């Protein structure tokens, strides 16, 4: 809810996400889909719409779409139709895009958002359909020409349309993160917004609470979650201001100007597109074999929501911690390997704390972690069996990150084994108390705070290796006299 000088406003947001399907070849041709290839080297005459060339659908792309639909708890439509969306643009060689209009392959579904306040909000999915991606137009390579690269033309896209259920930029961000996480879990899209394998168009409108929906504006091609959220915030406020000044919202398509943080109308002719959709006569209706769909369903991996619930029940983690660990499949897998037959809570803390900290510092993902799950698990065991103290373990971890060596090796090399020999500790305590005799007197006279000082001195004297429990036990005895 946005408060303005004239009262409360509700922001209504619907997101259309275009997710590039992970596959070797394109949706209707046998050209490759790799990112970053030399221009026009991954183009079939079908992709370039040469005369007489015809589309043949890639079974795996259909499977990926069905898998995604199942992962979104959506209805799979046994029969769906490919239609041509007709318009002219240089990166659309045929002058039409093969898409789905009236009968998409996937129908209604849902995504659950874990809200920061612990509640769960369900966001509806209207539909998911398959369509061709367009090529790329480069407008900045030459002063009078636009360059066209068709490598991307024909790559399979899943267009995932949400119901207009989102009510804030924050919710939009959560939705995108969750959707991306699900797609990556399924392996149907790598969710890489920088490379453009996940793109988002935003429909934003505002209205008074309880009143009918306002006119929406579409903001196109946002390629980071941060920009989506910024654009929504800006656009909502723009619309509210405009209405409050007595203006009317025109339905228009806008772009987000990253530099200035504003949305502005697209400069091209504001001609409403007449796409003249009709079923593609080069294709037949897509008929899905129910057995095949069931096979895909049976092979689905455990998805974030289910995994999170299992982490809570099986490992006793808090919902919040579980949520963090399941956000990325690789992280969840890493955690489970660390937690295997070890203290799960300790494993969670180490992964979310020290490991994430180190990865962030190094700017890498968990897939490139210099510390393996096995190594981290071994470190936790060394703490559990008393070989080293928790405090020193952090130093050992730092060394593991830097060198990639096993914790046991580092402990041995640096002689960090915890001292658990009571006699040795007693000796250290005696030495400290003798050297600090006046402070001991003060402590005994009532200055309790000095206890920590003594502990610190003892740890220093033992290079941090004294077992803290034993130190406490023996120190208290000796201070008590």
Partner 1 sequence: MALDKATVAHIASLARIRLAEAELEPLANELSRILDWVEQLNEAETSGVPPMASAAAARLPMRDDAVTDGGRREAILGNAPRAERGFFTVPKVVE
Partner 2 sequence: MSDPALLALNLAEARDGLARKLFSARELTAAYNDAVAEAKPLNAYITPTPEHALAMADAADERLALGQALPLDGIPIAIKDLFCTKDILTTAGSHILDGFHPPYESTVTEKLWQAGAVMLGKTNLDEFAMGSSNTTSWYGPVENPWRKPGDNRPLVPGGSSGGSAAAIAARAALAATGTDTGGSIRQPASFCGIVGLKPTYGRCSRRGVVAYASSLDHPGPMGRTVRDVAIMLGAMAGHDPRDSTSAPVPVPDYEKALDGGIRGLRVGIPREYRVDGMPDEIEALWQQGVEWLRESGAEPVEISLPMTKYALPAYYIIALAEASSNLARYDGVRFGLRVDGDSLEEMYELTRAAGFGAEVRRRVLIGTYVLSAGYYDAYYLKAQRVRTLIARDFARAFERVDCILTPTSPSTAFAIGEKSGDPIEMYLNDVFTVPANLAGVPAISVPAGLSGDGLPLGLQIIGRAFDEETVLRAAEVVERAAQFRHLPGFVAGGRS
Handedness of CA 163, 166, 172, 177 (dihedral sign): negative
Where in 85-114 is the site for partner 1 (CB under 8 A)? 88, 90
Length reported for the chain: 481
148 binds partner 1 (CB under 8 A): yes
Tokens matching residue 148: 């066209």
196 binds partner 1 (CB under 8 A): no
The residue count for binding partner 1 (CB under 8 A) is 54
Give kind and range of the element (H or E) at residue 123.
strand 120-132
77 binds partner 1 (CB under 8 A): no
Q: Which of 86/224 has CB closer to partner 2?
A: 86
Give kind and range of the element (H or E) at residue 158.
strand 156-162
Residue 16, Cβ density class (10 Å: 0-12 exposed, 13-18 middle, ≥19 buried): middle
d(CA 165, CA 172): 10
365 binds partner 2 (CB under 8 A): no
Which residues, including other chains, have CB under 8 Å from residue 437's CB and lie 6 or more apart? none
3-class state of residue 144 by DSSP: coil
**Minimum CB distance to partner 1, residue 230 (Å):** 20
Where in 285-314 is the site for partner 1 (CB under 8 A)? 285-287
Where in 126-185 is the site for partner 2 (CB under 8 A)? 146, 148
Strand-pair partners of 203: 14, 218
Q: Which of 5/139 has CB closer to partner 1?
A: 139
Which region among 47-55, 104-112, 199-207, 379-387 touches partner 2 (by CB under 8 A)?
A: 47-55
Q: Which of 276/476 has CB closer to partner 1?
A: 276
d(CA 10, CA 168): 9
Query: Among 93, 104, 154, 191, which residue sits at the site for partner 2 (rule: CB under 8 A)?
Result: 93
| Angle, CA 441 vertex, CA 435 and CA 446 arms, to 5° | 135
Q: Which of 120/266 has CB closer to partner 1?
A: 266
User: Pick from 398, 409, 344: which is nearest to 371 by CA?
Assistant: 398
458 binds partner 1 (CB under 8 A): no
Neighbours of 146 (CB within 10 A): 12
Give me the half-sphere count of Cα atoms (radius 13 Å) on the Cβ side of residue 200: 29
Contact characters 216-255, partner 1, x per CB under 8 A? ---------------------------------------x
40 binds partner 1 (CB under 8 A): yes
Choose the contact partner of 59 out of partner 2, partner 1, none; CB within 5 to 8 A by kind: partner 1
Choose the contact partner of 62 out of partner 1, partner 2, none; CB within 5 to 8 A by kind: partner 1
The residue ranges that bind partner 1 (CB under 8 A) are: 23-25, 29-32, 38-46, 48, 56-62, 81, 88, 90, 137-139, 141-150, 255, 266-268, 271, 274, 276, 279, 281, 283-287
């Amino acid at each position: 809810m946005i408060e303005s000088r004239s009262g409360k406003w509700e922001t209504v947001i619907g997101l259309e996400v275009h997710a590039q399907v992970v596959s070797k070849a394109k949706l209707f041709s046998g050209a490759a889909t790799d990112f970053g290839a030399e221009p026009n080297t991954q183009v079939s005459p079908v992709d370039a719409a040469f005369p007489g060339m015809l589309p043949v659908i890639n079974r795996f792309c259909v499977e990926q779409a069905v898998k995604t639909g199942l992962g979104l708890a959506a209805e799979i439509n046994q029969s769906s139709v490919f239609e041509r969306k007709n318009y002219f643009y240089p990166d659309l060689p045929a002058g039409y895009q093969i898409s789905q209009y009236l009968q998409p392959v996937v129908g209604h579904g849902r995504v659950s958002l874990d809200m920061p306040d612990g509640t769960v909000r369900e966001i509806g999915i209207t539909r998911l359909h398959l369509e061709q991606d367009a090529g790329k137009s480069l407008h900045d390579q030459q002063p009078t020409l636009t360059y066209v690269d068709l490598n991307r033309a024909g790559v399979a896209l899943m267009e995932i349309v949400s119901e207009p259920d989102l009510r804030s930029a924050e919710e939009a961000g959560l939705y995108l993160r969750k959707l991306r996480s699900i797609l990556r879990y399924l392996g149907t899209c790598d969710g890489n917004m920088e490379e453009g394998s996940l793109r988002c168009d935003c429909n934003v409108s505002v209205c008074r609470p309880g009143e009918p929906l306002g006119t929406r504006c579409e903001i196109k091609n946002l390629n980071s979650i941060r920009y989506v959220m910024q654009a929504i915030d800006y656009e909502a406020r723009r619309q509210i201001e405009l209405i409050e000044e007595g203006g009317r919202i025109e339905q228009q398509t806008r772009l987000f100007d990253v530099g200035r943080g504003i949305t502005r109308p697209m400069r091209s002719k504001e001609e409403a597109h007449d796409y003249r959709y009709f079923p593609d006569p080069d294709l037949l209706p897509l008929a899905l074999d129910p057995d095949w769909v069931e096979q895909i369903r049976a092979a689905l991996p455990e998805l974030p929501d289910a995994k999170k619930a299992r982490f809570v029940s099986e490992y006793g983690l808090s919902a919040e911690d579980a949520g963090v660990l399941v956000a990325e499949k690789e992280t969840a897998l890493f955690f489970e390997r660390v937690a295997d037959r070890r203290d799960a809570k300790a494993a969670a803390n180490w992964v979310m704390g020290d490991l994430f900290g180190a990865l962030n510092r190094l700017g890498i993902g968990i897939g490139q972690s210099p510390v393996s799950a096995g190594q981290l698990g071994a470190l936790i065991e060394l703490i559990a069996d008393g070989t080293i103290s928790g405090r020193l373990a952090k130093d050992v971890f730092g060394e593991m990150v830097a060198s990639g060596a096993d914790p046991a090796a580092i402990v041995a090399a640096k002689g960090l084994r915890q001292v658990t020999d009571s006699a040795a500790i007693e000796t250290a305590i005696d030495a400290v108390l003798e050297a600090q005799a006046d402070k001991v007197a003060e402590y005994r006279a009532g200055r309790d705070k000095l206890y920590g000082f003594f502990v610190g001195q003892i740890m220093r004297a033992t290079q941090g290796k004294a077992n803290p429990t034993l130190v406490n036990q023996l120190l208290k005895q000796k201070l008590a006299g």
